[in-house]
Amino acid sequence: MRKLLLILLIGCAACTTQAQDPKRKAEARPPAAAPAASAPGDTLAQIRALAKDASCNDNGQCRSLPLGALACGGPSDYLAYSTLRANEKQMNELGERYKADRQAAIARSGEMSICRYMPDPGAVCVAGTCQLGAAESAR
């Protein structure tokens, strides 16, 4: 019984030693992102801040922005915004940056997702606010 206990303790000590090996930790760590790259959450926060005031007078001022990326491809969501309040070019640039950030994160992590097609719902002006919805139903 003592021999079995001794073998078990030696095995546990070996496992603990490998787990605390600093060289092994450094190898397992993914490479750090470039300092110039922003975190995907920061970009999304900028997008949401620009789209916060989605007030509108008619459907022509409303746009839908594809957000992020799924592992299988396509956006993970859409966001309605108003061209009356937000710069459309800036919104599209931030949307592309967020998409690229998400695609890079997916590639690094090996993330998987369900393969579903999310059609662009369009955006319409409802009660003075841009909202996601079928543009055909508002006409």
How confident is the model over 50-101, as pLDDT tens digits? 999 999 999 999 999 999 999 988 999 999 999 998 999 999 999 999 999 9
Q: How confident is the model at residue 48 (pLDDT cuts 50, 70, 90)?
A: very high
pLDDT score of 23: 44
| Cα gap 40→36, rounded to integer Å | 12
Q: For the chain, what are the domain ranges? A: 40-138
| Token pair recorded at residue 93 | 């640039």
Higher model confidence: residue 23 or residue 94?
Answer: 94
Residue 130 pairs with which residues in a beta bridge? 125
Is the pLDDT confidence value at 15 over 90?
no
Q: How confident is the model at residue 1 (pLDDT cuts 50, 70, 90)?
A: low
CB atoms within 10 A of CB 9: 10
| Token pair recorded at residue 75 | 């956006």
CB atoms within 10 A of CB 51: 19
Is the pLDDT confidence value at 27 over 90?
no
Is the pLDDT confidence value at 20 over 60?
no
pTM: 0.66
